[in-house]
Structure 1
Amino acid sequence: MINSTNLLALKIQQIKQSAPANTQSATAPQEQKAVNSGLLNAYLNNLAMINTPAVTKTETTAPVNYHNDLKTLFQNNQAKILAIVPRTFNAKDLNGNDYIDGNEQHGTFLNAIERLDEVKASGFNTLHVLPISTPGKIKAMGTAGSVYAPKDMLEIDPTLIDKNDPRSDKEQFKAFIDECHKRGIRVMLDLPSCASYEMFLNMPELMAVEKDGLAKTPQGWNDIRMLQPWEDEGKRTLNPKLLEYHKKFVDMCIDLGIDGIRADVARTKPAEFWDIIIPYSHMRDPEFGWLAETYTYEDASPQANMPHDRPEDSLRAGFDLIYGQYHIFHEWPDAETFMNYVKEQLDMSYKLPKGKSLIGSFATHDDISPMFHGGAEYCNLTMGLQATLPMLNPYIVDGYQTGDDYLYSFANKYNPETQTDNHEMTVHRGRLDIFNLSRKPGGTQPEIGNFMKNAFEMRDKYLDVITKGTFIQLDKENDKNDQIITYARHFNGKTLLVVANKNVNRSVACKIKVPTLKADQELNNLLPSYGKESVLQAKDNELCVDLGPARVHVFEIDTPNIENFCDKIYKQNL
């Protein structure tokens, strides 16, 4: 008894010596009367110290009356998402060599705040923040390590911290989150699917191994190791330690004020795993949103050590939205393939709880820059589609706004200075760099961002039509190679007509059947003009078009009864 008391007293003394001054819990209770009964007082103070939340309240930055609504935003198709890598988001590459060296400043949580007004003005209301954990340094890719190869998912990368600011790592991240919330921008944090080699060594209880005891590595990657979701896969018994680790990640997010999670390669965990983790998050925050990197069908699946994608299982397990398959839009040969995919997703929605959706995954950080598929015109084409399609939340990767082709002059070159055991500045050609301390994303064609902003404004103006309305496939004639995409969106008597040329190289003409359209209908494009001009002529019940390469047009037309004369009408389960 005496020994126990002495140990407790020593522990209390250590806590008092190490406790920071003038800090306040983010969930501080009302002031309590002091307890002056010796050992009881010491015991209660010790409990209070142990149970103090990791994130302290930051009085100067906390937003007023902010309430998370990300889950509702997803379900109503109202999120407009920008994906960012914090360590490059506002990097200052002064000498123009495409990476940060010397006294140049890489991206941090605090200097990222400088760009938030730009994000807001561009029309975004949600940030997808790629992983912020310390990357592994052994068997690493690149000179900074992949953001998807975490040393510990619960540890914040010190690279993201401004060392001249006295606040802790979590306090600085919280300051960034609070500044986002002040502007009405929600924050969704990326949850890595795998681990670094160091994490494999340090946390073997979480890791998957082959029969010979070697780490399981996903095909095509040499810097990450697979986690083990199963304790006994045959009995469908989950790994309790991995579950607990992910609960701690969720707790960290919610304590920081994060609004949701994007689960990287969600198929690395079974539906049973997410059946526990997602409801756990909703016990603390019912509006906590979940995005699964799950494709409708993954071309490379199943990779070695990687199961099939299961989109419907993921959505039933609690994910609000998935990636879908728009990232291969450029590979689809014709309009019919595209239209069939849209209808397939709308049909799928009736097999699921209401409000399940997709992101506009035309280009994610895993994909080559859309500039390679047709330049600014292709970017505008896909933006016009994103802005008007059903069952979709628009999604953009930082750099798209100005046409970044993600070509880095240092690509795969030797660098004597490195933070890892690798001196090669690894990049994937044409893709956003996630391996090095590289420049801020950006290109030389700001007109892309201007078109995007206008498309977002058009979407907001006709929000009910686009997010709640029917999707009407229109018939056409004389489109020999089936390159014209055309559909109507209709809600409560209001109609938007969308016509687009999928061909990025040449103009295409055809006749589109638009029931109840009048010959005197004014055709005022709701999107900015670009590229080669199109020719359009309205006639009774039809529209004759000759669309320039990769041109997309959206018109409001006076056809309140169009649904009565169409038989290809589809709607999301809302």
Structure 2
Amino acid sequence: MKFKIIIAVIITFAFCINCKEKQELNTHSKNSTIVKNRKKVVYQVFTRLFGNTNTTNKPWGTIKENGVGKFNDFTNKALQEIKNLGVTHIWYTGVPHHDVITDYTKYGILNDDPDVVKGRAGSPYAVKDYYNVNPDLAVNVENRLEEFEALIARSHKAGLKVLIDIVPNHVARNYKSISKPKGIKDFGENDDVSVVYNVNNNFYYNLKESFQLPEWEQNYRVLGGEKHPLVDGEFNENPAKWTGNGSRASKPNMSDWYETVKVNYGVTPEGEKDFDGLPEEFANKNYKNHFEFWQDKTVPNSWIKFRDIALYWLDKGVDGFRYDMAEMVPVEFWSFMNSAIKIKKPDAFLLGEVYNPSLYRDYIKKGKIDYLYDKVQLYDTIKHVMQGYGKTDNIPSIFNSLEDIEHHMLHFLENHDEQRIASPDFAGNPEKGKPAMVVSATSTTAPTMIYFGQELGEDGSENAGFGKPTRTSIFDYIGVPAHQRWMNNKQFDGGQSTDKEKALRDFYKRLLNFTISSSALVGAYQDIHLYNREHTKNYNDKVLSFVRWSDEEKLIIISNFDSEKGFRFNLKIPKEIIKTWGLSNENYVVNDQLYNQFSSNLKIENGGGCIEMSLKPLESFILKVK
């Protein structure tokens, strides 16, 4: 696979550019006010795996065999190292109490049926009690909530904002809260099960039909075939509920989210909305207007339940939420809940999982979700470039198409759903993530997210059980080898990391810390890739370039995506940019901000700029104009 040069010249969106060469130069600028704060960086960590030092990694291993991490493993030292990486927000994935296999009945927790639990450790997205946390994560199960509250406090002390998951689209088939506050009713507790649908029912029902387990395929066996007293091929649910992904079958398919049930938000089986719609003009109104809109409206019961859940966790000190499959829930609900959240905590960080680009603007503007994954456009495109067959020519158009909402499109290269960069099915080499990471982290004002172990080149190769290699399993008890070497028996100092792992982490640390300190990265952007494609020799479809700037800072960022070839060429900076930057016909020194080992001159003649560049394979520069 070959990856070539990406030259990204970073420019702040505060200025408008009057482009005379529109056929040659692809430009855009922000129409809204400049983002005054610095960029945000989210560190997603799978909480149960982070502190696990057990290296057994037996497929379908139990909690005793393979081990599990605890809240207490996030020590002050661990959190400070995460903060020092250049992180502003930490997303603790898998915190709410979801279905598990481990027996906690002596603590008053009901057992979960393995027939509807994915993996040995359970899916974090099959929540059974929203008012408490996963007992696996506690040293003292009786004090599990207090242990998480202490982790929130330690995280805040380290300077990190805390995010957790909320999964409004579905809950575990056996949802039962034993921790809910007085006056709170469980999901489904007051449902009228004699009808398929009622606006205030929490679930949809198949009358006179009982739930049946899927036909297991691909030689799948619950718990890997281990004999277990609760594995009997049955789960009592009568009448049957619709499944979490929307399947209406009483006997869902194995590929359906059979361990969950879909929550009813007041949408009839025919797709009609049984609640007030938002007037179109509310797309341009703030959260206070949205909050006021709902004050005299009657809303479905499920809306109230999830709003109360969110406010409960804000009271515990949580700073925001990641919303699973947000697009499967009506946008009006998001307006209702997120405006209530923002009234209570205006700076709450709200991240939604929406994969349909046609819905982006509704969920941002009407739904008041702060950030959405930029997966189906930037991530998918840049992944192809990293794999060697994609073209960087396809990237500038993505930024143009999202110009009006660029700040709201969070960038990532890994998360719990995606393959590890180092896995053979992705890039097979974590070094190939470097140029992509530079582009991902510097191309817009939006937040950047990394997944724990990404900074160490974790390859996700373990055969965990339900979870399969290339993705670090979220369903099983497993160790994360590269991360464990960095953790070094909970010293969190990289004491067992290889030289390559140390160097990769150093790269991430340099890059992320630069992004959160740069004023240019919250300013203006202009593409120069297409201009250089036409005017620069040796500049091809593995090279990408763009500029970013602010009043205080002018940057030129360059990366080579080719893993085998280096390149020499003269990067051209168009006249429009030189004029906007207010530079005259002379030479300006440009210094690299990543490693401070490269310096060159920006030569300006006849109003245009040129920089002699020499790039090694997979090498990146962030050049600052002196």
Q: 2:363 aligned with 1:314, yes or no?
A: yes
Seen in structure 2, the aligned counterparts of structure 1 residues 88 and 539 have a Cα distance that, compared at 3 Å, is same
Secondary structure, counterpart of 1:237 in structure 2: coil
TM-aligned CA distance change 1:122 to 1:230, over 3 Å: same
Match of residue 151, structure 2, among 170, 173, 176: 176
The CA deviation at 1:223 is 2.7
Tell me which of 100, 107, 117 is aligned to 2:80: 117
1:162 aligned partner, one-letter code:
V
Contact 1:154 1:248 (C-alpha < 8 Å) held by counterparts: no
Match of 1:54 in 2: none
Decide which of 300, 319, 338 is 1:278's aligned counterpart: 338
Tell me the equivalent position of 2:89. Answer: 126
Secondary structure of 1:373's counterpart equals coil
Aligned pair partner of 1:90 in 15, 28, 51: 51
| Distance in 2 (alpha carbons) for counterparts of 1:75 and 1:254 | 25
Structure 1 residue aligned with 2:135: 158
Find the aligned partners of 2:274 and 2:36 in 1 and give their Cα distance.
30
Residue 276 of structure 1 deviates from its aligned partner by 0.5
1:556 paired residue number: 624
**Matched residues in 2 for 1:400 and 1:359: separation?**
17
How far residue 457 of structure 1 moved from its aligned partner, in angstroms, is 2.7
The amino acid that maps onto 1:366 is D
Aligned partner letter, 2:338: I
Matching residue of 1:28: none
Q: Give the whole-Å Cα distance in 1 for the aligned partners of 2:328 and 2:481.
A: 30
* Change in 2 beyond 3 A, CA 1:470/1:217: closer
Q: How does 1:448-467 map to 2 (within 5 A)?
A: 448-461=504-517, 463-467=518-522
Question: Which residue of structure 2 lines up, in the alignment, with residue 490 of structure 1?
Answer: 549
> 1:527 is matched with which residue: 594, 597, 604?
594
Report if the CA contact (8 A) 2:70-2:137 is conserved. Answer: yes
Q: Which moved more, 1:152-161 or 1:236-245?
A: 236-245
Shift of 1:538: 5.7
Matched, 1:194 2:170: yes
Percent of aligned positions with the same letter in both sequences?
A: 18
Match of residue 572 from structure 1: none
Q: How does 1:358-507 map to 2 (within 5 A)?
A: 358-371=409-422, 372-373=426-427, 375-408=429-462, 410-411=463-464, 425-440=465-480, 442=482, 444=498, 445-461=501-517, 463-474=518-529, 475-476=531-532, 477-479=536-538, 481-492=540-551, 494-507=553-566
Q: Which deviates the most, 275-284 or 373-382?
A: 373-382
- Offset from partner CA, 1:503-554 (integer Å, 9 cap, x none): 3444455442114587854443222399xxx998865422344533332211
Cα distance in 2 for partners of 1:147, 1:135 equals 6
* CA positional deviation for 1:154: 2.7
Task: Compute the displacement of 1:94 (Å).
Answer: 5.1
1:362/1:94 CA distance change after superposition, 3 Å:
closer
Tell me how far apart the structure 2 counterparts of residues 202 and 247 of structure 1 sit (CA, whole Å): 13
Unpaired runs of 5+ residues, structure 1, are 1-72, 298-308, 350-355, 412-424, 559-574
Letter in 2 for 1:331: H
Q: What pairs up with 1:15-414 in 2 under 5 angstroms?
A: 76=37, 78-93=39-54, 95=56, 101-102=63-64, 105-113=67-75, 115-136=78-99, 137-138=112-113, 139-163=116-140, 168-192=143-167, 193-199=169-175, 203=188, 205-209=201-205, 214-218=241-245, 220-230=256-266, 232=268, 233-237=271-275, 240-295=300-355, 297=357, 310-316=359-365, 317-325=367-375, 326-328=378-380, 329-331=382-384, 333-348=390-405, 356-371=407-422, 372-373=426-427, 375-408=429-462, 410-411=463-464
RMSD (Å) for aligned C-alpha atoms:
3.2
**1:113 offset after TM fit, Å?**
2.7
Letter in 1 for 2:265: P
Residues 543-568 of structure 1 show CA distances to partners (whole Å, capped at 9, x for unaligned) of 3445333322111124xxxxxxxxxx
SS in 1 for 2:591: coil
Question: Which secondary structure does the structure 2 equivalent of 1:513 belong to?
Answer: strand
Instruction: State the partner residue of 2:610.
Output: 542
**Aligned residues of 2:55 and 2:479 also touching (Cα < 8 A):** no
TM-score normalized with structure 1 length? 0.71
Between the two structures, name the one with larger relative contact order (CA 8 Å, sep ≥ 6): 2
Residue pair 1:188, 1:261 contacting (<8 A) in 2 also: yes
Distance 2:58 2:243 in 1: 37
Q: 1:497 Cα deviation (Å)?
A: 0.5
Q: Which amino acid aligns with 1:107?
A: G
SS at match of 1:550: coil
SS in structure 2 at match of 1:87: helix
Equivalenced residues, count: 450
Greater shift in the superposed pair: 392-401 or 493-502: 493-502
User: Take 1:255 and 1:184, find their aligned partners in 2: how far apart are those partners?
Assistant: 19
Unaligned runs of 5+ in 2: 1-33, 100-111, 177-185, 192-200, 210-239, 246-254, 277-298, 484-497
Q: Contact 1:262–1:290 (CA<8 Å) still a contact in 2?
A: yes
The whole-number CA distance in structure 2 between the counterparts of 1:230 and 1:266 is 16
Alignment partner, residue 67 of structure 1: none
What residue is the counterpart of 1:352 in the other structure? none
Match of 1:439, SS state, is: coil
> TM-score scaled by structure 2?
0.65
Q: 2:128 aligns to what SS in structure 1? A: strand
- In 2, distance between residues paired with 1:494 and 1:288? 29
Judge conservation of contact 2:85–2:513 (CA < 8 Å) in 1: no
* Secondary structure at the counterpart of residue 131 of structure 2: strand
Counterpart-to-counterpart distance in 1, 2:122 and 2:552: 54
Question: In the TM superposition, what is the alpha-carbon distance from 1:383 to its structure 2 partner?
Answer: 2.5
- 1: distance between equivalents of 2:62 and 2:567? 46
What pairs up with 1:509-528 in 2 under 5 angstroms? 509-515=568-574, 516=578, 520-528=587-595
The separation in 2 between residues aligned to 1:244 and 1:224, in whole angstroms, is 20
- Aligned amino acid, residue 430 of structure 1: T
